[in-house]
Amino acid sequence: MGLCLSACLQIEPRGFFVSYESVDQRFEQSMTWNDQHPFPTLVSSEEEYEFYAVSDIHAGKTNNLGLFLEQALLQQPIAVFMAGDLTTGNANDYHELYAVLPPQDSLPLFPIPGNHDLYFGGWKQYRLLFGSSVYSFSIKTSQTSDLYICLDNAGGTLGALQLEWLKELLLYERPQHRYCVLVNHNNWVRLRRMLATNPYVEELEVLLELCLKHRVDLVISGHDHKSHAAVFGKTLFITLDALRDSYPTPSYLIVSVGPDAINYSYRNL
Amino acid sequence: MQNTYKALYLILLIMACCYPANSQVELDYLLDLGQTNVSQGLYISTALVSAYSFDKYTLKAGAQFQLIHPSSRVFSAAEFVAGRCFCVGKQTLEAEAFYLYRNFSSLMFISNWGLAVGIWKRHWRFDLGQDFKAYRVREKALSYETEGRVIRENFNLIYRIAYFVNSPEKPWNISLSLTNRDYFLINQETNPMLSLRAETYVSSTMRLYLENWYKPAGALNMSAHYFGYFARTGFIWTPAF
């Protein structure tokens, strides 16, 4: 009984049939928000810089997140990506999460939603707190700049509008940058059997071809709750461990971006 | 190359000789019209699948062609199947081994192979199998400084559960299926598709059918979103020689 109640509080059977809003609606709302709140270009004073990425926090409970934020505030990476499933979708969990996040000027946070963030009408809460689920920005050094694209595939698909936006960005913006990094929640390839959903094969075909043609260097995902990595074409696909409190080996990703290469490692909490 | 032609000729000759005894040819032509999140509007594809059955064995080969599609690749997929029926008690198990090639890009392709078994239970049809998928980069993509040439997704579950209004021997039928496999496409096990099919005999050798397919994304994430829909029409011709 307890288990059933716990499960019901975290997942929503309605979502098996229909979501509260379409991914195209979320995309349009995000673009409107982006127009009103353009993302600033981040500037690195050195040629080599670091960013961090975490995923699957599943707040309410935020002990692991708190530990991670302590370390991040100390190390001051140029950016922290939060690759979805920040909460369980409940309004209270959003409030718990927001309460522990530091101010944006002390640690630049770049969240995107995961499937759990959409449960129980969670998009409204997400939008209220973070504004946008799809955006891009660049990080500049004195010599060059790198393109970062954050995508919303929390519903298992990018949707038609977001895909067209991504294609245009890769076609016109990508050539002006040195590296290109994509961040989204649902991992694309299934390197191990898992119950969670990935993008359709037809969508994956388009995405993989885009990555090859436009020389995407890195794709960061969460969702699987277990870290793994693979290279396909020129692109490194990294899936993150979960940071949720109940996960036995929580870790976060440290990516070091330098003139010659992108290197990565996981740091256990 | 000459040896290949000789072998093909020999196979055809043997098949022709065997034909009158207890064999059957079946041609399945189909036309799909649909829309997905990646199709940039309407797409139209067509396919031809031919099957040759003798005794308990079946050989199938098919090819799919895109007539309207953003990928601009006319030949888009091919499938080869070898099957055999087994009797287990009063039940007939239809087992098959298959290879599927998806020619989705000039830079990469998918190769799938696997095994599946199917069984009829009055108004129900159940299929279960495993497939092994590999996304591969072609030789000509080497100019893109590729480092990883292949990525494998092993042990993907294939399933189909279908309910038929009539039993299979009736001249018409309507069925509802939940599956992750279609002609020329095997989705990950977590991406089921829903299909409604109606079929009827228009003559003793010809069946017409109409299918509607709905593809939800993210259903097993409890966050189901629309991915695509398509309608299919086709006929199955079983010539009597």
pLDDT of residue A2: 47
pLDDT of residue A104: 86
Q: What is the pLDDT of residues B147-198, one digit of tens each?
A: 889 999 999 999 999 999 999 889 999 999 999 999 999 999 999 999 999 9
Provide the number of structural domains found in chain A: 1
pLDDT average, residue stretch B62-86: 93
pLDDT average, residue stretch A213-228: 95
Q: What is the pLDDT of residues B221-240, one digit of tens each?
A: 888 899 999 999 999 999 87
pLDDT average, residue stretch B100-113: 96
Q: Could you tell me the fold of the domain covering B25-237?
A: Porin (2.40.160)
Q: Between A and B, how many CB-CB pairs are < 8 A? A: 162
Report the complex ipTM.
0.90
Q: Residue B184: which of B88, B112, B108 has the closest Cα?
A: B112
Contacts with B, A 161-220, CB within 8 Å: 163-164, 186, 189-191, 193-206, 208-209, 212-213, 215
Q: Percentage of chain B with pLDDT > 90?
A: 75
Residue A96 lies in a domain: yes
The residue ranking higher by pLDDT, B40 or A9, is: B40
Q: Measured between CA atoms, how close is B153 to chain A, in angstroms?
A: 6
- Answer yes or no: do B221 and A196 touch at CB < 8 A: yes
The residue ranking higher by pLDDT, B116 or B142, is: B116
pLDDT of residue B8: 53
pLDDT of residue B18: 52
Could you state, in order of their start, the residue ranges of all structural domains in chain B? 25-237
Q: How far is Cα B44 from Cα B32, in angstroms, rounded to an integer?
A: 6
Q: Which residues of B touch A190 (CB under 8 A)?
A: 153, 156, 188
Residue A52 lies in a domain: yes
The 8-class DSSP code of residue A105 comes to: T
Q: Percentage of chain A with pLDDT > 90?
A: 86
Residue A5 lies in a domain: no
**Chain mean pLDDT for chain A:** 93
pLDDT of residue A3: 44
Q: Which residues of B touch A20 (CB under 8 A)?
A: none
Buried b (16+ CB within 10 A) or exposed e, A138-157: bbebeeebbbbbbbbbbbbb
Q: What is the pLDDT of residues B37-61, one digit of tens each?
A: 999 999 999 999 999 999 899 999 9
The residue type at B151 = I
Residues 6+ apart with CB under 8 A from B100: B77, B78, B79, B110, B111, B112, B113, B131, B184, B185, B186
Q: Residue A82: which of A100, A108, A63 has the closest Cα?
A: A108
Q: Residue A154: which of A126, A128, A173 has the closest Cα?
A: A126
Using pLDDT thresholds of 50, 70 and 90, give the confidence band for residue B78.
Answer: very high
Q: Provide the angle, in degrees to the nearest 10, between the axes of the packed helices A23-36 and A122-130.
A: 20
Residue B10: pLDDT over 50? yes
CB A171 within 8 A of CB A138: no
pLDDT of residue B154: 92
Q: Supply the CATH number for residue A167's domain.
A: 3.60.21.10
Residue A210 lies in a domain: yes
Q: Measured between CA atoms, how close is B97 to chain A, in angstroms?
A: 21
- A140 inside 8 A of chain B by CB: no
- Answer yes or no: do A156 and B191 touch at CB < 8 A: yes
Q: How far is Cα A240 from Cα A112, in angstroms, rounded to an integer?
A: 14
Residue A215: pLDDT over 50? yes
Residue A167 lies in a domain: yes
Residue A21 lies in a domain: no
Residue A157: pLDDT over 90? yes
Residue A11 lies in a domain: no
pLDDT average, residue stretch A236-262: 96
In B, minimum Cα distance to A13 occurs at B222
pLDDT of residue B151: 94
pLDDT of residue A36: 96
Residue A43: pLDDT over 50? yes
DSSP conformation letters of chain B: -HHHHHHHHHHHHHHHHHHHHHEEEEEEEEEEEEEETTSSSEEEEEEEEEEEEETTEEEEEEEEEEEE-TT--SEEEEEEEEEEEEEETTEEEEEEEEEEEE---SSEEEEEEEEEEEEEETTEEEEEEEEEEEEEE-GGGGGG--SB-EEEEEEEEEEEEEEESS-TTSSEEEEEEEESEETTEE--TT--EEEEEEEEEEETTEEEEEEEEEEEESGGGT--EEEEEEEEEEEEE----
Contacts with B, A 90-119, CB within 8 Å: 115, 118-119
| Phi/psi at B179 (5° precision) | -155, 160
Residue B124: pLDDT over 90? yes
Lowest mean pLDDT among A13-17, A50-54, A236-240, B11-15: B11-15
Expressed as residue numbers, the domain containing A236 is 35-268
Q: What is the pLDDT of residues A90-115, one digit of tens each?
A: 999 999 999 999 998 899 999 999 99
Residue A9 lies in a domain: no
Angle at B112 between CA B104 and CA A220, to 5 degrees: 65
